[in-house]
Structure 1
Amino acid sequence: MNTSAGSVNQADESEEAGEAGAGPSGDAGLPRTAEPPGHGGPAAPDWAAFAERYWEREPVVLPAGVRAEAAEWFRLAVTASAPFRSGTRLGAVPDVRFDTAEGRLRSPGPLLPDAGDGAVAGYRERVRGELAGSGWQLTVTHPLVLDFGLWSSTRGLVTGLWDRVGRPSLPLTVELTVGDGYGRPARSGSPAVLTWVLDGALALRAAGTGPGRQALRAGPGELVYRPAGAPYTEHSTGGCLAVSLVLPDVEAAAAVSVEQVVTDLVQREPEFGGRTPYLPFPAPAGADGRVQDTGPVREGATALLRVLGGPGPERALRRRWAACRSAAGLEPVPPPRQAVDFGDGWRVRPVAEIEVVPDGEGGALWAVNGHALPISGAAADRVRAELTARRGGTVTVEDLGRAAGLPGGSAALRSLVGTLHRMRAVDLTEGGGTR
């Protein structure tokens, strides 16, 4: 929010919010009040003791505390599976795959869960009958993009661990699996994995030799941790419903992240216009066999060097880092809410911390729930301070303007509050003639 300009940079906000939210396009219908916090997320063990004794040291199975609500996660699997009934959807988020002992099914169709199964036990029995007892596993990758409540509760869970071992600067991979009698090979690259078993049982066997490579077995309400470099095969039984967080290989994932940022910036340069710098085919060559027309490649190299010499990559990576940090690594995040035109008398409830990251001279990034918003101006800082002071209570848009020293009816303020509502930093209240 730049008060001197009297407006909010909505284009930057939309770009950043859209980059983090790779799911459906916002909530349907009119805005609603506080969304349910999602009580069905995995439960947390004693993170302090876990970090001190096991983190990056040895595999372990621990009681995670209160048993999570498997029904919520199974409903999420049903929702994610619905678009895949007609076959594989390339590049979709979330992604749904169905594996059997004979291999992956391209079109699992009726083998995917649906509302008629009722619960994971009903789904297990139905698929067991259709496959005549053969082993199988359903895997939903990045399911939390569909459910802000479960995403938020899971983020709250892992934040307790990151506060002790450091927050991830790159996205994790979240997997929701349902399996019965299925043996999964050791994961490629042997990444670190945290797995909460919500129903059924999961047995793990060391795929290599060395210290700490004991067999592991986890049941409902237990957490399995495998540090990086400890490959394990997995065997699910009893319709095992589990949620896994797979930590990235930092070096490999960082290189991909930087490449994506630079590629995106280069493709915005005027030389490209959305084109890919291919050489003509067949390439015209001179008598000596050299390619004569290298214009597209030269232009591409020029654009690349110009981008690398400017501030764009650093700023874009900073925005990605801020968004990832506020998401606790759980990206992609649920999409922002629908935009709403706020009035001065509307009352909001601050519900999320706004993390601030410096972003160049006089500027900053506000990061909330995995979305990053470029912002500037002292008035914006006063708005954030007032929202922080009102946590646990409510405040009207007019009160925020008064605290920020802005005139009544400020379009910039209403736009900022609307953006914060989209990012779920504030909720609308009900009753009292306000919204």
Structure 2
Amino acid sequence: MTRTTPATVIEDLLRLHAPQVLGALVRRYGHFDTAEDAVQEALLAAAGQWPSAGVPDNPRGWLIRVASRRLVDALRADEARRAREERATALDLPLASGADRAPRDDDTLTLLLLCCHPDLTPSAQIALTLRAVGGLTTAEIARAHLVPEATMAQRISRAKAKVRGVRFGRPDDWGERLPAVLQTLYLIFNEGYTATSGPALQRREPATEAIRLTRTVHRLLPGTGEVTGLLALMLLTDARREARTSGPHGDLVPLDAQDRDRWDKAAIEEGVALITQALRHGPAGPFQLRAAIAAVHDEAPSAEATDWREILGLYDFLVRLVPGPVERLNRTVALAMVHGPEAGLAELDVLEGELGHRRDAVRAHLLERAGAYDEARAAYESAASRTLSLPEQRYLRGRAGRLGP
């Protein structure tokens, strides 16, 4: 064991292992809701013990063992579920001699498929999966969906109630669940790539886990264009990770100012090959179009050499398929790069939908490009006041400060 492990390291470990531990417990015992409670108790125990006692050699096995004991105790305490107690006790016997072994590699994927059960609404599927598989807090999920935290808490609670008692296993037909699975993986990746709150711009573990799971889905469904498109999109986006921050505090570096020599060339090559392959077969879906846009950015030798006309054309197709506020906002940026900031501002004025600080940030950038510095400064300050990400706050306030008092 390693003594006096920093709390931040332990927090990252717990975030990484929590979905895998939950998957292992639900596979062995069932009882999704009770298993989740047991995992939370094990995580709290680890957070209290590991900083001083040290991280175990097999942290995942430690968490599985502790959570299993909590789960069995909870089942035994419920006299109305005596049959479940007998089953849980029987299943606990082999665990005693092999509790430190890691769960099956596909436990997290199987948990993902359970959370995307077709009896749940799409919004409930995504919310439950982000909570159970992505390890996101209810507040983080609410911000990702642009809804109040109380609303999201109710949605997750109802979803848990619906999957209570559902047999845990791989479905034979992915068709009904695949759209929710892909959307959820995309949201988990986004939360890791650009955290919605906290001191760090990026959280490596959620993004890495989303890519790992997407690779697994791609191995199972290699001929599905949207699966290939999502994997390509993640690789092409994550390739810029090392260049997105600078300095001791992890300050945000915008795309046009990034050192492209720090981009992951191998990830870009793989992502470009994947999206090129996917676009050869049938009509392109939303993830394929997003990946194609990311490929145009990544293949440009410099920000000035970026083919914004091609990007705008791709966004035109994308907003026809997904006319959401985020997609339309991104198209507005591309429109401004092709036709000037005034065209972008005009489009921004008619843009509808909840966008949080994003709308103010884009408006500020376009106003700055148009020479309206006082208005730009006010928009930067407004955007900074509406984001919970500290790196984004510093960046936006820094931009405002450079435009004068």
Judging by fraction of residues, say which structure has more strand. Answer: 1
Q: Relative contact order (C-alpha < 8 Å, sep 6+): which is higher?
A: 1
Pairwise same-fold verdict (TM > 0.5): no
Structure of larger gyration radius = 1
Judging by fraction of residues, say which structure has more helix. Answer: 2
Q: TM-score, normalised by structure 2?
A: 0.27
Q: TM-score, normalised by structure 1?
A: 0.25
